[in-house]
């Protein structure tokens, strides 16, 4: 009996030893999983294009130390109570590394998709040249002009309706939109099977509208990029309600070829930031309601922000350097805006970001809002419930949009609006450059997808991200806004009517240009105050825009533009300080000398001209 007990006891001890051996092997299996997760993690870091390459060595070194430590602990603590702790630690570390290793390719793909969806190469720059006729209701209300010339018949086929107007007079504006209008005219001829149209040519969109409403012509050819300019003129603010489109012709616009900077981390660069509040798909052709130049020196960690009022009266390169509103320049392409600003500031601006202004609030919401130091309290002009107190305030996307759009209740009107735009831009830059962006990364990428256009390459943006992450740069940001005096003047794209413009201060432009050159040359700059009394503002002297010319019938088959082709010249911008505050610039139109600009201090009231009723646009 005793012997049997001893045999049973020996068998039991052998089984216990076997079980214990199995338990001692289990922790090393989980350590091996940690090893695999670590290798996968390092591999993911190496293949993430926006992460610095030295992070591969840093992460590999840290994980080698971690693996050695966990191996030592796994081997040392084999008792059951300690074994479970070590096993659990291995499992938690493995899962964490695997999750990050899986997230990094997702993040890289998200960044790549976002950049590619916003590059100008992929942008749809189809311009629609629409054929407008006045609605029957409008003609009936103005029978003294139109008589019985009312086309009440409706057509199922647009081409049939176009043919109904074959013998009517078509109105073009070849002088300001030659390429698009020429293509549209040829297309209309082809559709109608004719070699000649009854045509009259206007020198501006307003002149064309005058001809349509005055019944000098019955069909107006107008590009969709110019409709917004026309409706901003008070007389034609209801244009889209009073007309209808009988046919639309798609014209593939040639993208402005602007060679961007390929290196953003070792050399200084300048970037134009443009925005508008129009909805819909972004294009490289259109007005810019926000006009900001951003100059960056990555080696000295300096950033200069320079904002221009959208109504700044500046040379228009596309129109022979005649004067025009800065916001109008983008209608013929972003390259036109960059060319003018480059000339004014004497800096090569070859990078741009165009933002649909109404969608940028998505980006701010994705960042969790931004904080700005509001210099003075104000409310929103058409909503008494909206109020921005003085001091530090936090803005979500919606309120940030209101903050940068308001101008009517501000003490300095549009100049104050440009200041607010800079404050929000600065807050966005600071938040994106902070480590906190990691927690907002995915939502930010989703918000940015399809909301802006840029010519900066994917590789250049990756390089800038790597540079920021590697050095954790604290940027020194200085910001300036160009001011001036408000007056009335003719514009190259709207020569028929004197419009409200801002004559920018040449002294301020000179100062800002010098600060930019310092930054480009590697000098350190600090924020300075450059606001001058309105009475002492120097006015930028440039050639005034040509006035309107009479509409002239063209009896030739091939219609030529009513103005001479643009000369290939370098803009000559003369900046001469005024000797006394009383001197007023005399900008006299060529044909109508009785209209002269009246220079008045910028106030919050509207001038009642082209864009006076934009509701803070």
SS (H, E, C) 359-425: CHHHHHHHCCCEEEEECCCEEECCEEEEEECCEEEEECHHHHHHHHHCCCCCCCHHHHHHHHHHHHH
Is the alpha carbon torsion for 142, 148, 151, 152 positive or negative? positive
**Two structure tokens written together for 309:** 């009022």
**What b/e sequence results for 255-281 when a residue is b if at least 16 CB atoms lie within 10 Å of its CB, and e otherwise?**
bbebebbeebbeebbbbbbbbbbbeee
15 in a structural domain:
yes
Domain match, 13 and 150 both? no
Domain match, 326 and 459 both? yes
17 vs 233: which has the higher pLDDT: 233
Domain boundary among 495, 521, 549: 549
Q: Give the domain CATH number at 239.
A: 3.40.190.10
Domain match, 160 and 97 both? no
Q: Domain span at residue 498? A: 269-359+451-549
Domain boundary among 201, 221, 252: 252
User: Mean pLDDT throughout 122-141?
Assistant: 83
Domain boundary among 106, 137, 158: 106
Domain match, 90 and 197 both? no
Domain match, 136 and 81 both? no
- Collapse the DSSP code of 249 into the 3-class scheme (helix H, G, I; strand E, B; otherwise coil) and give the result: strand
Domain match, 155 and 235 both? yes
Q: Give the domain CATH number at 455.
A: 3.40.630.190
Domain match, 42 and 161 both? no
Distance in angstroms (rounded) separating the CA atoms of residues 196 and 520: 55
CA angle at 343 for the pair 341 and 349, rounded to the nearest 5°: 55
The alpha-carbon radius of gyration of the chain (Å, integer) is: 33
For the stretch 184-203, pLDDT in tens is 999 999 999 999 999 999 88
Domain total of the chain:
3
Q: Which residues pair with 34 in a beta bridge?
A: none
The answer to whether residue 40 scores a pLDDT higher than 90 is yes
Distance in angstroms (rounded) separating the CA atoms of residues 504 and 585: 12
Distance in angstroms (rounded) separating the CA atoms of residues 516 and 305: 9
Domain match, 239 and 91 both? no
The answer to whether residue 239 scores a pLDDT higher than 60 is yes
Distance in angstroms (rounded) separating the CA atoms of residues 82 and 90: 13
330 in a structural domain:
yes
Distance in angstroms (rounded) separating the CA atoms of residues 12 and 23: 17
For residue 521, the model assigns a pLDDT of 93
**Two structure tokens written together for 303:** 């950033």
Q: Lowest-confidence range among 33-37, 562-566, 607-611? A: 562-566
568 in a structural domain:
no
| In the chain, % of residues over pLDDT 90 | 26
Distance in angstroms (rounded) separating the CA atoms of residues 573 and 339: 13
Domain match, 459 and 541 both? yes
289 in a structural domain:
yes
Q: Where are the alpha helices (DSSP H) in 276-370?
A: 326-329, 334-345, 360-366
For the stretch 279-321, pLDDT in tens is 666 778 888 888 999 999 999 999 999 999 989 999 998 878 8
178 vs 512: which has the higher pLDDT: 512
215 in a structural domain:
yes
262 in a structural domain:
no
The answer to whether residue 417 scores a pLDDT higher than 60 is yes
Domain match, 97 and 131 both? no
Distance in angstroms (rounded) separating the CA atoms of residues 228 and 218: 21
For the stretch 324-370, pLDDT in tens is 999 999 888 889 999 999 999 999 998 998 887 667 778 888 888 88
Distance in angstroms (rounded) separating the CA atoms of residues 38 and 98: 8
**Helix axes 54-76 and 458-471, enclosed angle (nearest 10):** 50
Q: Lowest-confidence range among 57-66, 226-235, 243-252, 439-448? A: 439-448
292 in a structural domain:
yes
CA angle at 514 for the pair 513 and 518, rounded to the nearest 5°: 115
Residue 454 in contact with residue 120, Cβ under 8 Å?
yes
Domain match, 81 and 219 both? no
Domain match, 207 and 86 both? no
Residue with tokens 């034609």: 236
User: Mean pLDDT throughout 411-439?
Assistant: 79
Q: Lowest-confidence range among 44-53, 55-64, 66-75, 548-557? A: 548-557
591 in a structural domain:
no
For residue 468, which phi and psi values (nearest 5 degrees)? -65, -45
User: Mean pLDDT throughout 463-470?
Assistant: 82
Q: What is the mean pLDDT of the chain?
A: 78
Distance in angstroms (rounded) separating the CA atoms of residues 602 and 408: 11
């Amino acid at each position: 009996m005793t012997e049997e007990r001893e045999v049973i006891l020996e068998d039991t001890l052998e089984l216990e030893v076997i079980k214990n051996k199995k338990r001692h092997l289990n922790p090393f299996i989980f350590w091996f999983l940690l090893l695999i997760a670590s290798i996968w993690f390092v591999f993911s870091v190496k293949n993430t294009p926006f992460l610095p390459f030295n992070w591969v060595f840093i992460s590999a070194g840290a994980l080698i130390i971690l693996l050695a430590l966990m191996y030592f602990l796994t081997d040392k603590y084999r008792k059951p109570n300690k074994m479970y702790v070590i096993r659990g630690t291995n499992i938690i570390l493995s899962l964490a590394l695997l999750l990050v290793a899986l997230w990094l390719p997702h993040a890289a793909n998200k960044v790549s998709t976002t950049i590619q969806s916003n590059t100008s190469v992929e942008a749809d720059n189809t311009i629609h040249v629409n054929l407008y006729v006045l609605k029957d209701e409008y003609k009936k209300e103005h029978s003294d002009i139109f008589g019985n010339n009312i086309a009440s018949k409706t057509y199922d086929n647009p081409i049939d309706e176009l043919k109904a107007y074959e013998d009517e007079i078509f109105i073009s504006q070849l002088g300001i939109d030659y390429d698009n209008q020429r293509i549209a005219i040829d297309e209309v001829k082809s559709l109608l099977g004719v070699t000649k149209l009854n045509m009259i040519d206007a020198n501006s969109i307003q002149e064309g509208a005058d001809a349509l409403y005055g019944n000098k012509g019955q069909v107006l050819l107008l590009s969709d990029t110019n409709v917004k300019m026309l409706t901003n003129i008070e007389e034609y603010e209801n244009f889209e309600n009073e007309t209808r489109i009988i046919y639309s012709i798609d014209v593939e616009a040639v993208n402005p070829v602007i060679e961007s900077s390929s290196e953003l981390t070792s050399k200084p660069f300048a970037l134009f930031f443009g925005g508008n509040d129009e909805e819909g798909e972004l294009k490289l052709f259109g007005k810019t309601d926000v006009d900001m130049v951003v100059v960056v020196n990555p080696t000295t960690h300096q950033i200069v922000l320079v904002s221009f009022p959208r109504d700044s009266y500046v040379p228009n390169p596309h129109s022979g350097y005649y004067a025009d509103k800065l916001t109008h320049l983008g209608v013929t392409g972003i390259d036109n805006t960059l060319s003018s600003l480059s000339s004014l500031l004497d800096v090569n601006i070859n990078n741009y970001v165009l933002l649909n202004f109404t969608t940028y609030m998505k980006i701010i919401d994705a960042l969790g809002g931004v904080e700005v130091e509001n210099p003075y309290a104000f409310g929103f002009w058409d909503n008494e419930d909206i109020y921005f107190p003085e001091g530090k305030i936090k803005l979500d996307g919606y309120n940030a949009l209101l903050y940068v759009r308001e101008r009517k209740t501000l003490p300095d009107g549009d100049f104050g609006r440009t200041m607010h735009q800079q404050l929000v831009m600065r807050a966005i830059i600071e938040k994106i450059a902070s480590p906190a962006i990691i927690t907002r990364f995915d939502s930010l990428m989703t918000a940015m997808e399809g909301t802006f256009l840029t010519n900066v390459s994917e590789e250049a943006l990756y390089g800038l991200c790597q540079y920021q992450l590697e050095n954790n740069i604290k940027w020194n940001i200085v910001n300036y806004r160009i001011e001036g005096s408000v007056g009335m003047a003719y514009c190259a794209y709207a020569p028929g009517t004197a419009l409200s413009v801002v004559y920018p201060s040449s002294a301020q432009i000179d100062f800002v240009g010098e600060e930019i050159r310092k930054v480009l040359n590697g000098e350190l700059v600090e924020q300075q105050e450059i606001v001058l009394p309105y009475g002492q503002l120097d006015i930028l002297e440039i050639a005034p825009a040509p006035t309107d010319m009479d509409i002239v019938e063209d009896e030739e088959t091939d219609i030529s533009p009513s103005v001479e082709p643009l000369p290939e010249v370098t803009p000559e911008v003369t900046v001469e300080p005024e000797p006394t505050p009383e001197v007023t610039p005399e900008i006299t139109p060529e044909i109508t000398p009785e209209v002269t600009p009246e220079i008045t201090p910028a106030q919050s009231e509207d001038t009642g001209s082209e864009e006076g009723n934009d509701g803070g646009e």
